[in-house]
Structure 1
């Protein structure tokens, strides 16, 4: 496993991280989830990403139990706040001070830790003054409950505004977590340049496009049973990619992957890591073997010829419009 610095901070993260959206507390049984976490640890992954909303808090609890007994200082544990949790009352969502502080304390309990390495605003909240959000983050940092803060799916302007406040409040604001893959490149035009100016790195989710870039979804065929396309939490994200036009193009990546000695999933993960502003790519898994296979993308360099062939194969189905951010 190779490691990269997160933003301009002193925090190093494994360039492949393990995330438990959809899987833990929902798609797989806990014993299987624990096996996947163990496979991640054995493969050299030290960075684990979750969120309070995943499986309505159950995913955090599963991850906390799976990591119990590990040396805390050897892990980087990330979680997020914004989406509704609990019964969904008026203060059970958003980036207001009450929800942030209460959610952070609850996440720490579920994760069985005194602090999280990175606490992320899961989306931008138009209904709350940004100053209130960052002051709450600052207080969590001062209290030692959060080491660094980040955001997820913020656009370039929102990142710039957040960075300005973070500087004023001396909050270590170091990352953005966007969707990014060969098929979904909306961050490249605006978000990445804004992040570079602000000293942020990307921690990208869905580098395999919810499994579409593995090639297992075939044009004209029903989706495989038990896949993310059948999961209530994931199917809304993947449905836009399950067009025959896209699936036919994805099949053209198979000979490219073979030429570089990678599986299609490994090629997809390696591709996002070619972007120097990407510090880590989040992978998920329902089986330990998936973790073991996908981590082989670490340290891979794809030359320009391969990158050009990928662009040619996917021509016409790649989304680049920055307005789709978030």
Structure 2
């Protein structure tokens, strides 16, 4: 069964594998298959679920809410996010204004069929809204009982520190950061992780398998397998493109002997690797088939010896992206 960890410095425990439904529910995966994947997650002990209002333009929240409706709510940890536009995409239907936050939380709760979410996260930093306005709105969401905790996604170290200072003044618990993190993408290590430790945030990392590249299924010099994310024109191919070059794919193949030595699949090795970082509270896994969930769950509790962690670094060499400014690049630019 999947292990639990505390989320940041809070008293709430979450499963160290979180089931996420970005790019799947309401889009790539039929509802019946989505339900089978969620059931598989519950069967292996995953109780933490991550979504966002923007995923499949609200459909992902609806699908997840329908599937979890029969479960004991207090035994689940549900996270969702706000920032990107949904619906008709009106003038105020984006960002972290008070108007957008307070309206968006109500929509999310309706779709998720719950009175509250455990963590409500800012999906990006909003340069066009005063941070004080955003944090006061989040505080009001918490005090209204619509969220227990506040978190962020893809914020820089300076943004995290500023948000944490305001959260302290407002007496609300700001406990999570949700960045991309994998063996290939380590941009949070030098700045975001130290700022998060200082502020009491834990990382709930997305794409620990680098959109599937770290499974080893993409071979250098070969066309991507039919039906894989690299062939998905709905968005998956764009996300994975940065890793789809022969230099990266060749280096990734060098990880196979290390996975074999640990008795793990390549995907399990990738997930276990991110969980070695002490500031990582959980890794988000997605799935289009139930057996993927069952397989990935075996990464929980794995300890990779220091000498094999060093071998991983040697195998990947200089293809690893470490530049902390890459986090800035994911932030939308000011629009005023």
Superposition TM-score, scaled by structure 1 size: 0.99
Corresponding position: 1:32 with 2:33: yes
What are the within-5 Å matches in structure 2 for residues 120-159 of structure 1? 120-159=121-160
Match of 1:192 in 2: 193
SS at match of 1:9: coil
What value does the CA root-mean-square deviation take over the aligned residues?
Answer: 0.6
Corresponding position: 1:19 with 2:20: yes
Number of corresponding residues:
326
Match of 1:95 in 2: 96
Match of 2:80 in 1: 79
The separation in 1 between residues aligned to 2:207 and 2:149, in whole angstroms, is 23
The separation in 1 between residues aligned to 2:136 and 2:238, in whole angstroms, is 34
**Alignment gaps of 5+ in structure 1:** none
Picking from 254, 258, 261, the partner of 1:259 is 261
* 1:233 Cα deviation from its structure 2 partner: 2.1
Match of 2:177 in 1: 176
The separation in 2 between residues aligned to 1:33 and 1:215, in whole angstroms, is 24
Match of 1:318 in 2: 320
* 1:88 Cα deviation from its structure 2 partner: 1.1
The separation in 2 between residues aligned to 1:236 and 1:144, in whole angstroms, is 38
Structure 1 residue ranges, 4+ long, deviating more than 3 angstroms after superposition:
none
The separation in 2 between residues aligned to 1:164 and 1:156, in whole angstroms, is 12
SS at match of 2:39: helix
Match of 2:334 in 1: none
**Alignment gaps of 5+ in structure 2:** 331-336
SS at match of 2:151: strand
Match of 1:217 in 2: 218
The separation in 2 between residues aligned to 1:163 and 1:228, in whole angstroms, is 36
Q: Deviations over 1:121-173 (max 9, x none)?
A: 00000000000000100001000001000000000000000000000001110
Match of 1:239 in 2: 241
* 1:29 Cα deviation from its structure 2 partner: 0.4
Match of 1:294 in 2: 296
* 1:87 Cα deviation from its structure 2 partner: 1.4
The separation in 2 between residues aligned to 1:233 and 1:102, in whole angstroms, is 27
Match of 1:5 in 2: 6
* 1:54 Cα deviation from its structure 2 partner: 0.3
SS at match of 1:314: helix
SS at match of 2:126: coil
* 1:230 Cα deviation from its structure 2 partner: 2.3
Match of 1:269 in 2: 271
The separation in 1 between residues aligned to 2:231 and 2:54, in whole angstroms, is 19
